[in-house]
Structure 1
Amino acid sequence: MRVLQSFRTGQGTTNPYLVQLGAQLGPETEVLGFTWRRALGVPYDVFHVHWPESLLPGSSSALRRMLFRALLLRLWARRHRTAVVRTLHDAHSHRSGSRIDRALLARLDRRTALWIRLNPATPVPDGAVARTIEHGDYRYWFDEAGAASSVPGRLLYSGLIRPHKGVPDLVQAFTALPFGPDGGPISLRVVGTPISTDIGAEVLLAALDDDRVSVSLGHLSDSELAAEIAQAELVILPYQDLYGSEASVLALSLARPVLVPANAATRALRAEVGRGWVFTYTGALTARILDGALTECRAERAHRAERPDLSARAWPLIAAKHRAAYATALRLVRGTAGPSVPGPEPVDAGGRTYI
């Protein structure tokens, strides 16, 4: 089976999740990294799409849209030979961009044979065939990078900084906290790349009045990111639509507990990884919630295992589930018996495209 992934290989900034997926799929599956020449000119059985908006221009580009249209035509012409599989990572991609770009992405959605969601709580399009494949861990990627001791009272936000992720609200909640539990020191570190100058400026302005808050905007190397997480006593991820958050799996892979909004996905994650690793809250994030979470985190330290249970996210298992999903998608578009695969999962009624 030959699979074209929608990301380029061999680049230092490629998401480690994608790099690990591409590496673990072989040797049973031949994996091609994305180039427009490959997408339009070589045969492949499956086109696996991640963040499809990345295939379109960030600003006006007639050439990029022309290439995207050519790809759609190729996929349509080979609709009985090539299966499109889509992983739902993010809820906000199709809400941005021009009207033309949104229409092009919607056409790709309609061509998708099978949707991969990172947990059962993720909504998918009505009537879609879906498979749940958990987000793989980062334990081997970062090896022993998280072995350093945490800094007492250090709270951390790490990851892309988008308007819906509530990072300015986190900073404001923290600045209302006069000191840590039992009067000890407390600090907040914010690291990550803002998707716009506006949201970056909003975070910096929110942090101006409190010298306990430090902000580092921009891309971090793997070693730098691992060091930031290793120093955290508690990682805070305040976005309400957190479903298959890469940042939460990354923190847990480095044995750092997380505070996340309560929803079906985060409650399932809490049950999966074991006691004392995932803490949840409801409503708006406040200083009181931060104080209570850090207090609870410290109280649970004696009861939790040395590392969270991420056995369901081991890469050999994740890769095997992807190969089975590809086989199902091919069977759907080609109408052949193919390998034995499980039937469709139940699909959430009233779901929307989750991107």
Structure 2
Amino acid sequence: MTQLRVMQSFRAPRPTTNPYITMLDRALGDSGEVLHLRFDWRRALVGDYDVFHWHWPEGKLHGSTWWRTAGKTALTAALWLRLRLSHRIAVVRTVHNVELPDDGRLRRALLARIERDADLLIALNSETQLDGRPHARIPHGHYRDWYAGQPRAQRVRGRISAFGGVRRYKNVGVLVDAYADASSHRADLSLEIGGRPSTPELAETLQQRAESLPNVDMRLRFLPDDELVRLATQSELVVLAYRFMHNSGSVLAALSLDRPVLVPRNPVNEALALEVGDAWVHMYDGELRGDQLLAALAGVEAIPAGAQPDLTLREWARTAADHADAYRRAVEIKRAQA
């Protein structure tokens, strides 16, 4: 079988690169099933390859100044046009987010065309709506290997944590309010929140809401892996009180560190509970309240020491093989259309 040449939309990963990209890069490079090519503008625009794989195409549209942004937008438009006119190069796009970002009329229109012209979509869960288009469902791989070298901390009774980028839709303020209510009924509770806020105003608002509460520690900055692992593994429960949750790396990070999560009830999280074990995925309805926090904490006490959630479907070797199958199918679709 001829080895396909597959160019990703990401360059060589850096320490601050999304771990999903770093682990996918490593898995594809190790698998040997495809010739794995990292992104290069010259090769993308005029080079020879069989498949182009988009991840977060909006990341290609912005530079540090307005003229760099304009230049990158023009280059991305040229790449889209090359791929659209090609009768040979198949285009694959992973649906990381359900909706396009609000990124200005011109850039949003370009992103819509990139999405429309993909020959095959990759969904990370069974609930992503793809409107009958050719697709593959490949679950987000786990983080066990990613965090393997980091020491674990001793679990602290009553400790609740939340981590990841702090944005308004992640409802961290609601978690703080629920903790305020829960801590008034149980004195041994503590709360630790870690992650970089999207705005200084959000950070200030959170600190004001928490300043009068007992046993709250806020680390409102980017957390390196060792701090994240310490924060997560000290907790009895990781709480992610998002308004909307579809594909969450933080949920998988917590489960990969053998910590149960409390998340909003929706079809994605219900399917995850069936997959990994419902002892590990606790859900709440409506907006998070203090009594729901206390109920979830009581539920996780039954998990025996040393137990792990079942992440078999999320092994990275399997993920790489499934991507290779998706690339081959995309090429078949493209050439059948041609």
TM-score scaled by length of structure 1: 0.86
Distance 1:121 1:146, change over 3 A: farther
Note if contact 1:46-1:82 (Cα within 8 Å) is conserved in structure 2: yes
Unaligned runs of 5+ in 1: 337-355
Distance 1:311 1:67, change over 3 A: same
Report if the CA contact (8 A) 1:260-1:281 is conserved. yes
Q: Deviations over 1:46-104 (max 9, x none)?
A: 221122211112774211211111111211222x2112211122235x24211111111
The answer to whether the aligner puts 1:70 opposite 2:75 as a matched pair is: no
1:219 corresponds, among 219, 222, 230, to: 222
**Matched residue type, 1:132:** R
* Cross-structure match for 2:255: 252
| Aligned-partner SS, 1:176 | helix
Counterpart Cα distance in 1 of 2:155 and 2:214? 20
Identify the residue that residue 332 of structure 2 maps to in structure 1: 331
CA distance in structure 1 between the partners assigned to 2:239 and 2:101 by the alignment? 25
Asked if 1:45 corresponds to 2:50, the answer is yes
Residues 1:123 and 2:135 aligned together: no
C-alpha displacement at 1:152, in angstroms?
1.5
Counterpart code for 1:301: I
Matched, 1:91 2:98: yes
Deviation readout 1:133-157 (Å, 9 max, x if unpaired):
1110111121153643212211111
Q: Is 1:163 matched up with 2:171?
A: no
2:150 and 2:225 in contact (8 A); partners too: no
The equivalent of 1:317 in structure 2 is 318
Whole-Å Cα distance in 2 between the matches of residues 207 and 5 of structure 1?
A: 43
- State whether residues 5 and 47 of structure 1, in contact with CA within 8 Å, keep that contact through their aligned partners in structure 2: yes
Change in Cα spacing, 1:40 to 1:271, as seen in structure 2 (3 Å) is same
Distance 1:219-1:115 versus aligned 2 partners, 3 A rule: same
Q: Which amino acid aligns with 1:47?
A: F
Q: Does the 8 Å CA contact 2:53/2:92 hold for their aligned counterparts?
A: yes
Aligned to 1:81: 88
When residues 95 and 293 of structure 1 are mapped into structure 2, their CA distance, relative to the original with a 3 A threshold, is same
Paired with 1:48 and 1:202, the residues of 2 have a C-alpha distance of 39
Gaps in structure 2 of 5+ consecutive residues? none
Q: Give CA-to-partner distance per residue, 1:217-236, whole Å, 9 cap, x none.
A: 22222222212211111001
How far off is 1:309 after superposition? 0.7
Displacement of 1:238 in angstroms is: 1.2
- Mapping of 1:66-215 within 5 angstroms? 66-78=74-86, 80-92=87-99, 94-124=100-130, 126-143=131-148, 145=150, 147-179=152-184, 183-215=186-218
Q: 1:347 maps to which residue?
A: none
Q: TM-score, normalised by structure 2?
A: 0.91
- What's the % identity of the aligned pairs? 41
Measured after TM superposition, the shift of residue 111 of structure 1 is: 1.3
The match for 1:349 is none
8 Å contact 1:7–1:34 — kept in the other structure? yes
SS of alignment partner, residue 145 of structure 2: helix
SS at match of 2:52: strand
Cα distance change of structure 1 residues 128 and 146 upon mapping to structure 2, 3 Å threshold: farther
Which residue does 1:286 correspond to in 2? 289
Q: Runs of 4+ in structure 1 displaced over 6 angstroms? A: none
Q: 1:346 is matched with which residue?
A: none
For 2:247 and 2:261, the matched residues in 1 are separated by 14
> Do 2:33 and 2:321's aligned partners in 1 also have CA atoms closer than 8 Å?
no
- Cα RMSD of the aligned pairs, angstroms, is 2.1
- Tell whether 2:33 aligns with 1:28: yes
Contact 1:179 1:186 in 2 (8 A): no
CA deviations 1:138-195 (Å, max 9, x no partner) are 1112115364321221111111222211111111221222346xx4411111111233
Q: Which amino acid aligns with 2:75?
A: L
Assess if the C-alpha contact under 8 Å between 2:176 and 2:210 holds in 1.
yes
Q: Output the amino acid matched with 1:74.
A: R
Structure-2 change in CA distance of 1:333 and 1:159 (3 Å): same
